[in-house]
Amino acid sequence: MNTRKNGNIGYLYILASASCFSLAGVLIKMISLSSISINGLRNLFAFIVMGIYIKKIKHNIVMNKVVIGGAICNLFMNLTFVMATKLTSAANAIVLQFTEPIFIIIFLWIIWKYKPDKKAVITCILVFGGILCFFFDKISLDGQLGNILAIISGALYALVFLIKKMKNSDFESSILLSQLASFIIFIPWYFKETNYTTNNFLLIMVLGVVQMGLAYILLAKGLERVSPVAASLTSTIEPVLNPIWVAIFYRETISPIAILGAAMVIISSTVYNMLSSKSKHEEQDCYEA
């Protein structure tokens, strides 16, 4: 009974986390600052929230090459996602970042020589088919660049996940380090901004405290109670909610071909995760190689 109760609470944490993460699109669209400034400033607030949480749970900060590598990937993953959201539609950005499981398959194959099985190959083909739909959606240079940055963000997200599974990694330390670095590195950009309004400040604060800081805490608490695969499946609500908030509050619509592409990516990735959860193959040795 207690196990079932903990599992239910874990799913609620994951759902709450995904809901917080899904606010990224509409908040980024509504802030009239550059992508670099938005990402850097939101990380300051996220760093404060995460720092308080880590101190409360008395988690020891770890510093090594694996943690630093994870922090670098996380820094550029977040930055490219914000840039993509500004350049293309929020739906394109979040769904193309959601290609992360496919890049995990590719990286395991190329780097760790872990040959993908038939279901992985089929999933990759379907997802890449979905990706092509986005490039037929908006032909503008900015839109295409945004699509490319979103895919890069998905690839970096895959590296973050793989590094998290490596020996000597520490997820909380990598996140905290990436947040601090994201704020400090881009300080010169903040002084170039000329539109520091109260509205922009409040939106950035919500973006950092709720969409990033609180979301990571809820995710961490959820992962304590449910498996990573179950968490991944539950988190598929994020790419669904993200464009809905944008459509309601920012009036950004999604074209039919983009909807088709989104459906191919989300459904293919979700089905693959479901099938993988039943597989007996263990990949831990690949991560620690």
Reply yes or no on whether the pLDDT at 206 is more than 70: yes
Q: Exposed/middle/buried for 197, CB within 10 Å: 0-12, 13-18, 19+?
A: exposed
The number of domains in the chain is: 1
Contact 242, 84 (CB under 8 A): no
In a domain, residue 8? The reply is no
Q: Is residue 286 part of a domain?
A: no
pLDDT (tens digit, 9 = 90+) per residue, 127-182? 888 888 877 765 577 888 999 999 999 999 889 888 877 888 898 899 999 999 99
**Residue 6: pLDDT over 70:** no
Residue 274, Cβ neighbours under 10 Å: how many?
A: 13
Residue 281 has pLDDT above 60, yes or no: no
Question: Percent of the chain scored above 70 by pLDDT?
Answer: 89
Does residue 1 form part of some domain? no
Mean pLDDT across the stretch 99-113? 83
Distance CA 85, CA 152 (A): 13
Give the separation between CA 29 and CA 81, rounded to whole angstroms: 12
- The yes-or-no verdict on residue 107 having pLDDT over 80 is yes
Q: By the 8 A CB rule, do 159 and 65 touch?
A: no
Residue 228 lies in a domain: yes
* 110-132: average pLDDT: 83
- Examine residue 7 and state whether it is found in any structural domain, yes or no: no
Helices marked H in 34-170 — which ranges?
35-56, 65-87, 90-97, 100-110, 118-135, 141-164
Contact 15, 237 (CB under 8 A): yes
Residue 283 lies in a domain: no
pLDDT digits (tens, 9 = 90+) for 17-72: 999 999 999 999 999 999 999 999 999 999 999 999 999 999 999 999 999 999 99
Q: Which domain holds residue 189?
A: 18-277
Share of the chain above pLDDT 90, in %: 48
pLDDT band at 282 (very low <50, low <70, confident <90, very high): very low
Rounded mean pLDDT of the chain?
Answer: 86
Interatomic CA distance for residues 13 and 219, integer angstroms: 6
Residue 213 lies in a domain: yes
pLDDT of residue 284: 47
What is the band of 239 on the pLDDT scale with cuts at 50, 70, 90?
confident
Mean pLDDT for the stretch of residues 189-211: 96
Task: Please report which confidence band the pLDDT of residue 280 belongs to, taking 50, 70 and 90 as the band edges.
Answer: very low
Q: Is there a domain that residue 112 lies in?
A: yes
